[in-house]
Amino acid sequence: MSNRKMFMAMILTSFIGAAIAIGGYTLLVPTSQNNGVTPVNNPNPVSFTNYELDTTNFVVPEGLNFVYAAKSATPAVVHIKTTYQASGGNAARNPMEEFFRDYFGDRYDRRERAPGQGAGSGVIVSEDGYIATNNHVVEGASEVEVLLNDNRTFKAEVIGTDPDTDLALIKVEAEGLPYMAFGDSEGIQIGEWVLAIGNPFEFRSTVTAGIVSAKARNINILARGRSRTQIEAFIQTDAAVNPGNSGGALVNLKGQLVGINTAIASPTGAFAGYSFAVPATLVKKVIWDLKDFGAVQRPLLGIEIRDVSAELAEKEDLNVLKGVYIANVNDGTAAAEAGLQSKDVIIAIDGKKVSNTAQLQEQVALHRPGDKIDVTFIRDGRTKTVKATLKNQFMTTEVVKANSAFEVEGATLEPVSGAVKDKLGLDSGLQIKGIAGGKWKDAGIEEGFVITKIDKRPIRSVDDLTAALNSARGEGILIEGIYPNGEKAYYGIGW
């Protein structure tokens, strides 16, 4: 057979096969009554994004419905607006000012700050108007305004602040407000769903969802320019949090408060995947201290600590890879009196395991000076438990109130009285009522002197003073203030 005949035979065979296939398909498959196109069940359907879901037949898996939590919690979250007056640039300049600037460098920069405004969030925690928020939301504000979820607006009073936990308590004069109940932040589990509610970028009542990514996280954000008694035991989540969310609520699916949203980890300043909240157990303790005493009752063990690592365990022959290593025990402290020693490894407080410094600090911070706690530790391979009586920053078990006198390095100080404030035009300060000796007297400071700033940091309370002094250990400090006769003065002290 020639090539031409073979080629023609192949073409004819193809046409006959196609005709048979089409005819068989037509006989076996019924055609559509509408347009002759047969419906096909596509395993990967594609639709426009405006597709409407029939929610009447849609079932949300149990435990994953955020509607109840959002609906019950949102009314208790408020929008906070703050106003800041211009600061710095005093008309009356001390002749020693240039010396102090040269001596202390940037720590004595007195550039003027223009008036401005800020915004954040807060959580109503009682029906009579107490609101929890972050210290950095209201710090230094001359005026605080609160906008409720129902659009009512109130002026707020700052009851107290705590830079060491970045928490603050403010109050509005109102009754019968919707408030949020506290949940169990200690019992919350990694992987558990949570909602973040706040006002990011001033978008009011914004709700985002995520899971608990980690607990007792220390990100060293409060250590910047603060004291050595800061407490960081953040709940880490991946719920979206942005500027303006600070002070807002982190809630569980029951609509209970489990944290106050405080910070984000971000190279840009906007949300990049992780947010951090102060746990509710710590929030509750701090804000009620501020309410009852005007100052946080700061319990201290009096030890210098480090996380146990594989390198440290090998170096010190610890035979343990988790816990808190005691680097030093300070004399006269709760730890010293309880018999704790350097190189001990703390593994539990009151029977609750502590694997790192953040967990230890959180468990201790939930108490008050005078409370007794059980400290379980490992020494020379043996597990022991001792009872320690916690002390305050002045090494006593007394309650520290915002308006009570206290002694520091031979000087007796107390919050400046209302009469002195009015006379000198001050908003706050600490006045030296007596000097028995020590660094204050050696520097030339006299009785009656009102401390207004240390290293440019406003001194409004006992905590402000101790934070400033503790952060300056081993360095010189610049003290600014005024005497009752109106004379301003500046002192440099080696601390």
CATH number at 130 reads: 2.40.10.10
Confirm whether 176 is domain-assigned: no
Contact 234, 247 (CB under 8 A): no
Q: 56-60, 267-271, 304-308: which has the minimum mean pLDDT?
A: 56-60
Same domain for 119 and 203: no
Q: Is 166 annotated as a binding residue?
A: yes
Whether the predicted pLDDT of 41 surpasses 60: no
β-strand 116-124 against 153-162: which pairing, if any?
A: unpaired
Confirm whether 340 is domain-assigned: yes
Average of per-residue pLDDT across 190-196:
95
Same domain for 438 and 355: no
Query: Out of 121, 185, 213, 246, which one is annotated catalytic?
Result: 246
Average of per-residue pLDDT across 213-220:
89
Q: Which of 337, 354, 389 is the last residue of a domain?
A: 389
pLDDT of residue 220: 80
Q: Which of 293, 325, 348 is the last residue of a domain?
A: 293
Whether 136 is catalytic is yes
Same domain for 308 and 285: no
Same domain for 314 and 288: no
Q: Is 344 annotated as a binding residue?
A: no
Q: 32-46, 181-195, 335-349, 419-433: which has the minimum mean pLDDT?
A: 32-46
**Higher confidence at residue 398 or residue 198?**
198
pLDDT of residue 35: 35
Q: Give percent of the chain with pLDDT exceeding 70.
A: 78
Whether 166 is catalytic is yes
Whether the predicted pLDDT of 374 surpasses 50: yes
Whether the predicted pLDDT of 61 surpasses 60: no
Average pLDDT score, the chain: 81
pLDDT tier, 455 (very low <50, low <70, confident <90, very high otherwise): confident
pLDDT tier, 203 (very low <50, low <70, confident <90, very high otherwise): confident
pLDDT of residue 153: 96
Confirm whether 8 is domain-assigned: no
The model's pLDDT over 311-360, given as tens digits with 9 standing for 90+, comes to: 999 999 898 899 999 999 998 999 999 999 999 999 999 999 999 999 99
Number of domains in the chain: 4
Confirm whether 246 is domain-assigned: yes
Among 119-133, 304-318, 415-429, which range has the highest average pLDDT? Answer: 119-133
Q: Is 461 annotated as a binding residue?
A: no
Average of per-residue pLDDT across 294-308:
91
Whether the predicted pLDDT of 92 surpasses 80: no
Confirm whether 258 is domain-assigned: yes
Same domain for 289 and 312: no
Same domain for 336 and 273: no
Q: Is 136 annotated as a binding residue?
A: yes
Whether the predicted pLDDT of 425 surpasses 70: yes
Average of per-residue pLDDT across 41-64:
42
Confirm whether 165 is domain-assigned: yes
How many whole angstroms separate alpha carbon 139 and alpha carbon 471? 19
Confirm whether 56 is domain-assigned: no
Q: 102-106, 211-215, 373-377: which has the minimum mean pLDDT?
A: 102-106
pLDDT tier, 112 (very low <50, low <70, confident <90, very high otherwise): very low
Query: Out of 121, 162, 164, 166, which one is annotated catalytic?
Result: 166
Whether the predicted pLDDT of 24 surpasses 60: no
pLDDT of residue 204: 85
Overall residue count recorded for the chain in this entry:
495
Give the CATH number for residue 333: 2.30.42.10
Amino acid in position 128: D
Whether 417 is catalytic is no
Confirm whether 33 is domain-assigned: no
Same domain for 141 and 80: yes
Q: Give percent of the chain with pLDDT exceeding 90.
A: 51
Q: Which of 293, 326, 354 is the last residue of a domain?
A: 293
Q: 116-125, 216-225, 429-438, 481-490: which has the minimum mean pLDDT?
A: 216-225
Domain that includes residue 462, residue range: 406-494
Query: Out of 136, 185, 227, 463, which one is annotated catalytic?
Result: 136
pLDDT tier, 15 (very low <50, low <70, confident <90, very high otherwise): low
